[in-house]
Amino acid sequence: MPQLLTNKRLILLLLGVILLVALISFSLRDRSNVSLPEQIIKDAVGAGQSVFSRPAHFVTGIFDNVDSLLNTFEENQHLKTRLEEFASVQAEVKDLRSENEELNQIVGKEEDLRDYNPIQATVIARNPDQWEEKIILNRGSNQGVAENMAVMTASGLIGKVTLTTPTTSTVELISTLNPNYRVSALVVGGDEEVFGLIEGYDAERRELLLKRIDADIELKEGDQVISSGLGGIFPKGILIGTITEITIDEFGLTQLAYVKPAADFSLLNHVIIADRVMPEVDGEDNGVTGDDES
Amino acid sequence: MIRFLIPLICLVLFFMEPVFGLFSPLNIGGELNYIVPRFLIMFLIFLTLYYDLKHAMFYGLFFGLLYDVFYIDIIGLYSFLYPAICLVASFVFKRVPRNLLTSTLLTLALLAIFEFVLYQFFLLISLTGMPLGTFLSTRLWPTMVANSIFLVMLGWVFKSVMVTQLSERDNKIGLY
């Protein structure tokens, strides 16, 4: 009988392979929303996961604290030198802010691309096989999270929401290799604002690629790159990173800049989801919108 | 209560994986090292070797499905690979003497194969463009080191849990 047993196993294996291919091709399609059973599983696992991630965050918090204690002296020295500068900058910011408000009132402009409602969230898991750059947050559509919203830490943009369920949401980090991942960006620091698109990630340099900048415009290394808010989803003014190198792109028509991300993608803990106040355009940030599909 | 010990361990290991995944990538000397925790599959291989194949494959299918849906959104990848690795483990182990050393080595070898198959798959659907050399040095090697530390520390616990469970089950069958 062992012969029969192996035959049966072989058939099972073949059936399994067929089922596997069918399922994978089903789930690899560009799906905008998740099916109900998936949602149930995601919510259930998410609830369990947040129980386990809490002590882990506690432990990493202790390590962070010890780490920052060790650096206290150097940091203090550094901060002291910056303190005087800070006071004057703050005064200037206050002045500019009030002036801006006044001017806005004069022209009757109430909404701004910069305004957003922050939704605080905790990272409950990172995709454990780190092939895709994804993290999972403990806030979902119940808290007002929607697809394509910007996700950031205190230091800068880290990614955008790709999937939501009632209590969890999946975030695709900006360091993904996905070619359809675009963020409309703005270079500040020069005389005028320069627009470009964050498109792609150089895994070896660990830097983002800022493409489609006009060849005539002169950029400087060290210029800051922020989100422009013109893509339709992200608010304006989220720091993305600083330019480290400027070259000509592969076609020789436009410039390409390497941007070092401001945020650190490892050991993410607390993040902020930006829900823009201004009406959002459907579709991705600077992707294909519902209206102009061509 | 003790009947649910094995599924309970599976569940705990399942939830531990992403928690340890938060520590990765590890920056050692300017080089990013990806450490992928693979606690569950190692436990399942031990389950195959010391308990029985059917249970291991069932748990593999169940937790593989959870893994697929929750973490990677490609349904059918882990839920196929987990049971398949268990099946391979049971085939290989028929020809190998059964002790803790050989089962540890076998588990690590299968883990390396598992990682490699996943790498090939993600290369195929072009989710990654990592060259083979980079994969070996920054992913496979750190992952194997970290997981073998885990296995050496807890392998004998796994074994003793399964052996007691197995003897308890056999006793129960004897009662009827």
Residues of A in contact with B18 (CB under 8 A): 49, 53, 124-128, 136
A269 burial (CB, 10 Å; 0-12 / 13-18 / 19+) is middle
> Does the structure show a pLDDT above 50 at A289?
no
Strand, helix or coil at A284?
Answer: coil
Task: Name the pairing type of β-strands A116-126 and A239-248.
Answer: unpaired
| pLDDT tens by residue, B1-49 | 467 888 888 998 888 888 787 777 777 777 778 888 889 999 999 888 8
Could you say which of B36, B66, B74 has the minimum Cβ distance to residue A24?
B74
Name the helix (H) or strand (E) containing B99. none
Gyration radius of chain A over CA positions: 23
Look up the CATH number of the domain holding residue A211: 2.40.10.350
Q: How confident is the model at residue A251 (pLDDT cuts 50, 70, 90)?
A: confident
Return the SS3 of A162. strand
Domain extent for B125: 2-175
Q: What is the pLDDT of residue B21?
A: 76
Q: What is the pLDDT of residue A4?
A: 52
Q: How confident is the model at residue A290 (pLDDT cuts 50, 70, 90)?
A: very low
Q: How far apart are CA A182 and CA A164, in angstroms?
A: 19
Considering the domain boundaries, does residue A290 fall inside one? no
- B64 vs A264: CA distance, rounded Å: 30
Total structural domains in chain A? Answer: 1
Q: Are B23 and A129 in contact (CB under 8 A)?
A: no
**What confidence score (pLDDT) does residue B108 get?**
92
Give the separation between CA B92 and CA B102, rounded to whole angstroms: 11
* pTM for the whole structure: 0.78
Task: Check whether B62 has a pLDDT greater than 80.
Answer: yes
More confident residue, B169 or B82: B82
Q: Does A177 touch chain B (CB under 8 A)?
A: yes
**What stretch of H or E contains B152?**
helix B141-175
Task: For residue range A118-161, list pLDDT tens digits in order.
Answer: 889 988 888 777 777 788 898 888 888 888 888 988 888 998 89
Q: Nearest to residue A286, comparing CAs of A216, A220, A210?
A: A210
Chain A with chain B: Cβ pairs closer than 8 A: 114
The stretch A264-280 carries a mean pLDDT of: 81
Residue window 33-52, chain B: list those with CB within 8 Å of chain A: 34, 36-37
Q: How many domains does chain B have?
A: 1
What is the structure's pLDDT at B111? Answer: 92
Q: Which domain holds residue A241?
A: 33-70+111-278
Q: Are B56 and B48 in contact (CB under 8 A)?
A: yes
**Domain annotation covers residue A243:** yes
Give domain status of residue A23, yes or no. no
Residue A80 lies inside a defined structural domain of this protein: no
Longest dimension (CA), chain B: 63
pLDDT digits (tens, 9 = 90+) for B111-156: 999 999 998 988 887 777 778 888 888 889 889 998 999 888 888 8
Q: Which pLDDT does position A44 carry in this prediction? A: 86
Q: Residue A94: which pLDDT band, with cuts at 50, 70 and 90?
A: very high
Structural domain contains residue A99? no
Are A177 and B17 within 8 A, CB to CB? no
At A293 the pLDDT is: 38
The answer to the question of residue A286 being in a domain is: no
A127 touches chain B (CB under 8 A): yes
pLDDT band of A253, cuts 50, 70, 90: confident
